[in-house]
A and B are shown apart, each in its own frame.
Chain A
Amino acid sequence: MAGSFLLLGLAAGSGANALDPALAGRWIAGLALGLGVLGGLWDGTYTLDIAPLRPFLPGPWDLTLAELILGLTTGFKAYVGTLTLAFTLGLGWRHPGWSLRLLPLLLLGGLGWVCLERLVGALGRAVNRWFKYVALFVGLGLLLSWVFRQAGLDSVPTLRWALPALPFLQRSGAFMHGPASWEMLFVLSITGTLLLGLLTGALVGWDLTRGTEVPSSPPRPWRFQRPWAGIAVQQWRQLWSSKIGVIRLFFPLLALMWMKSPALLDLRSGSTWMVFSLGYFQCALSGAPLFNLFGFDRGGVRSFWTLPVEDGSWLAGKLVGIWAYQACFTLLMGLVLAFLAPVPPALVLPACLFTQALFLVHAGAGAPLAIQLASPLSARAWLPGSLHAARLVRIPAVLGPLAGLVLLWFWASRHGLPWLLASQGLAVAIGLGMLVHGFGQAKATLEAHREELTLLLEGHPPETVFPEGGPLGF
């Protein structure tokens, strides 16, 4: 953390001469707007730990103020805030007067971010869930293209390849054209933040008086004969009912954007890049749930302990449910590759085998390690306070197989399609072997450590559950 702080500060200092007030203002406004809109779309409920304070906050304005202050102190915002502070101090090293001007602007930007989250979150609740996620995807594209253009990154040769992937680039230069003074930036920032604050206060007041929304139609129960089949459906539905579960499925669209450049699509290095992108997104898609079999339904998993379900059926059901969810991704990617992107159709089959091999390897490696508190790839696991040696050791277990499979693909693609097919077929076979081995290990771990798992799921810290380090790597 200290290293990244220092590096960012040094980078900002070295690039300070290229920065003018207009650019600084655009960066701050862009960050606040983009992150606020995305944060609101992501977390439509705007869940802060404010419930205990509610009795002491009588009116909407007290509540708004408390929400703003609490909203600024969440882990992610503290992280972004620390980095922007490093950036500002770096600039101040070259231009001492700038720090004092930028710091209030950053604070206003932070407040605007929190207000926007609340406002967009309320808007997001009023619209269809899928529409909301499409908007999130479009918003992400807009933000990226805007940042690339406004920051002048299109002049950086190594990033030039990414620009054709951002479809909104040509329309994104509409914000704040022409030179800007510090005074104008302050007036705009204060007015904008005040306006957002007033709107947020009004919204909080409205939120306090309205009732709870009720979904229109109840979801139906499902029939099953074998326990593993029922559990698979439950896992599948659980993944789809979670926000992250739906949003992950949009990742193929981002991958598609990257594939717009024909230069990347030959059978050799281009296809390696494509398959790496595909695999990288799949890591998040199936890797995280596979390494987090128990944590995904922390409370509910304990009801299984009281039901007549064998551990093997339970684990198998969970794996099949995650596989089915991941298969949707593979199918979508296959369709995208075959019909929408200029990819040789012959690549589709090896690419599908690649995704299956990655799933099997992750399932084999992940299931025995699944008794843990946080998913190794979740954003929370990367926050400075959450970094933990025991969690970090699991990251290679997720990313290692990906790297190995990509290298295998790279090697095979240089020898032609038959080699590619054979290598991926071999990878699937190895993955299957790993899954069979890992499944047995996971079952044995579950049987031996169910009690410890129960305690962990109840929120007992690992240090007390495994005071001597334990067999699970805590």
Chain B
Amino acid sequence: MIRIQNLAKSYGPKVALSNLDLTVEAGTFLGVLGRNGAGKTTLIRALTGQLRPTSGTIQVLGLDLAARPLELRRRMGVMPEPTALLEDLTGAQYLQFTGQLRGLPFAEIQRRARELGDLLETDLDRPEPIAAYSFGMKKKVAFASAILHGPELLFLDEPFEGLDPVSADTLRSLLASLHAAGTTLVMTSHLLGMAERLCTRFLIIDQGGKVAEGTPGEMLQGTETLEDLFLRLMGGRKTGALSWI
């Protein structure tokens, strides 16, 4: 489904990704974990064609990403950042617009949008433009837009960030059902508990390089949780006290 060889990405002197190799089989739910600035978002952007790699090759759905970007964008879903929505449109308008650009019929988009709105407990027909939505609402619109066309491969960058616990749980069950239906998912997240419940494979990166990769069975030792593993790989817990407290 995804094959990366020797992927590197630099911004001037700053190295964001270095010599990354990765293979993701169809039907996998890959969790990409790492600290802030580890290169997770850069990896997602490179995999979705938003960034050109400095070196290396990326094959997605059996096609060369650089050579066939349009076909791939039709078949994959990418959850845009909440700040990268067309904010002068309403939620319903945004879904209609992006859905039609993906080739879906108008009536079908309406039906799917209504279903998604009900499930995510979001009134997508509200009259305000997206600019007036809360961060969580924007997240839901971005997610709805990414799955509206039923993609074979779905990329999600921090999908749970800013969602209330009920919405986060709804999203979790939705992602689980997408996975059960055969969709391949790649997700970055700082919520390790949520990632542990959902993902079938993990990639842990730090400073642009791969630190560990595998299934939970391969990576976790004994009763170790994903959080324990992550902290162990990142150099242990940091504790300390503030001088004025």
Residues of chain A at the chain B interface (Cβ within 8 Å)? 212, 214-224, 227, 230, 234, 237-238, 241-242, 297, 299-303, 305-310, 450-451, 454-455, 464, 467
Query: Which size bracket describes the interface of B in this complex?
Result: 35 or more
Q: Are B101 and A230 in contact (CB under 8 A)?
A: yes
| A451 partner residues in chain B, CB cutoff 8 A | 50-52
| B101 partner residues in chain A, CB cutoff 8 A | 227, 230, 307-309
Cα distance A455–B97 in the bound complex, in angstroms = 25
| A302 partner residues in chain B, CB cutoff 8 A | 50, 80-81, 84
> Which of B11, B48, B103 sits near A306, CB closer than 8 Å?
B48
Q: Are A305 and B49 in contact (CB under 8 A)?
A: yes
Q: Mark B90-118, 1 if CB is under 8 A from A, else 0.
A: 10110011101111001000000000000
Pairs A–B under 8 Å by Cβ, sample size 19: A212-B132, A217-B127, A218-B125, A218-B127, A219-B90, A221-B93, A221-B106, A234-B97, A237-B88, A237-B89, A297-B87, A297-B88, A299-B87, A300-B87, A303-B98, A306-B80, A308-B103, A454-B50, A467-B12
| B67 partner residues in chain A, CB cutoff 8 A | none
Within 8 A of A (CB), among B5-61: 11-12, 48-52
Cα distance A144–B83 in the bound complex, in angstroms = 41
| B97 partner residues in chain A, CB cutoff 8 A | 221-222, 230, 234
Task: Please give the distance in Å from A355's CB to the nearest CB on chain B.
Answer: 26
Cα distance A302–B101 in the bound complex, in angstroms = 15
> Which of A223, A299, A300 sits near B100, CB closer than 8 Å?
A223
Stretch among B70-78, B188-196, B199-207, B227-235 lining the A interface: B70-78
Can you name the residue of chain A whose Cβ is closest to the Cβ of B51?
A451
| A305 partner residues in chain B, CB cutoff 8 A | 49-50
| B49 partner residues in chain A, CB cutoff 8 A | 305
Cα distance A226–B71 in the bound complex, in angstroms = 16
| B50 partner residues in chain A, CB cutoff 8 A | 302, 305-306, 450-451, 454
Cα distance A234–B88 in the bound complex, in angstroms = 9
Q: Is the C-beta of B176 less than 8 angstroms from some C-beta in chain A?
A: no
Given contacts A234-B86, A297-B87, A306-B78, 12 further A-B contacts (CB under 8 A): A214-B128, A222-B96, A234-B97, A238-B88, A302-B50, A302-B81, A303-B84, A305-B50, A306-B48, A308-B73, A308-B74, A467-B12
Can you name the residue of chain A whose Cβ is closest to the Cβ of B76?
A306
> Which of B11, B85, B128 sits near A300, CB closer than 8 Å?
B85
Q: Are A308 and B102 in contact (CB under 8 A)?
A: yes
Can you name the residue of chain A whose Cβ is closest to the Cβ of B155?
A306
Cα distance A227–B52 in the bound complex, in angstroms = 24
> Which of B102, B127, B145 sits near A219, CB closer than 8 Å?
B127
> Which of A215, A303, A307 sits near B102, CB closer than 8 Å?
A307
Task: Please give the distance in Å from B128's CB to the nearest CB on chain A.
Answer: 6
Q: Are B92 and A300 in contact (CB under 8 A)?
A: no
| B80 partner residues in chain A, CB cutoff 8 A | 302-303, 306
Q: Are B86 and A218 in contact (CB under 8 A)?
A: no
Q: Are B73 and A221 in contact (CB under 8 A)?
A: no
Cα distance A215–B52 in the bound complex, in angstroms = 42
Q: Are B100 and A303 in contact (CB under 8 A)?
A: no
Q: Are B127 and A216 in contact (CB under 8 A)?
A: yes
> Which of B52, B83, B100 sits near A224, CB closer than 8 Å?
B100
Cα distance A256–B29 in the bound complex, in angstroms = 64
Can you name the residue of chain A whose Cβ is closest to the Cβ of B73?
A308
Can you name the residue of chain B whose Cβ is closest to the Cβ of A305?
B50
Cα distance A464–B12 in the bound complex, in angstroms = 8
Can you name the residue of chain B whose Cβ is closest to the Cβ of A306?
B78
| A220 partner residues in chain B, CB cutoff 8 A | 93
CB contact under 8 A between A234 and B12, given known A305-B49, A306-B73:
no
Cα distance A48–B81 in the bound complex, in angstroms = 25
Can you name the residue of chain A whose Cβ is closest to the Cβ of B81?
A302
Q: What 9 A-B pairs come out closest when comparing CB atoms?
A: A221-B96, A300-B86, A218-B127, A302-B84, A306-B78, A308-B73, A308-B74, A215-B127, A303-B80
Cα distance A241–B92 in the bound complex, in angstroms = 17
Cα distance A216–B74 in the bound complex, in angstroms = 36
| B84 partner residues in chain A, CB cutoff 8 A | 299-303
Cα distance A238–B130 in the bound complex, in angstroms = 13
| A227 partner residues in chain B, CB cutoff 8 A | 101
Interface centre among A221, A223, A300, A464 (most CB of B within 10 A): A221
Task: Please give the distance in Å from B151's CB to the nearest CB on chain A.
Answer: 11
CB contact under 8 A between A297 and B86, given known A219-B93, A230-B101, A309-B101:
yes
| B12 partner residues in chain A, CB cutoff 8 A | 464, 467
| A454 partner residues in chain B, CB cutoff 8 A | 50-51
Q: Are B100 and A215 in contact (CB under 8 A)?
A: no
Task: Please give the distance in Å from B42's CB to the nearest CB on chain A.
Answer: 11
Cα distance A299–B87 in the bound complex, in angstroms = 8
| A237 partner residues in chain B, CB cutoff 8 A | 88-89
Can you name the residue of chain A whose Cβ is closest to the Cβ of B129?
A241
Cα distance A454–B126 in the bound complex, in angstroms = 30
Can you name the residue of chain B whose Cβ is closest to the Cβ of A227?
B101
Task: Please give the distance in Å from B17's CB to the nearest CB on chain A.
Answer: 14
Can you name the residue of chain B whose Cβ is closest to the Cβ of A297?
B86
> Which of B96, B98, B106, B127 sits near A214, CB closer than 8 Å?
B127
Q: Are B89 and A234 in contact (CB under 8 A)?
A: yes
Cα distance A243–B73 in the bound complex, in angstroms = 34
Q: Are B90 and A303 in contact (CB under 8 A)?
A: no
Task: Please give the distance in Å from A445's CB to the nearest CB on chain B.
Answer: 15
| A222 partner residues in chain B, CB cutoff 8 A | 93, 96-97
Cα distance A212–B89 in the bound complex, in angstroms = 18
Q: Are A299 and B85 in contact (CB under 8 A)?
A: yes
Q: Are A218 and B98 in contact (CB under 8 A)?
A: no
| A310 partner residues in chain B, CB cutoff 8 A | 70
Cα distance A310–B102 in the bound complex, in angstroms = 12
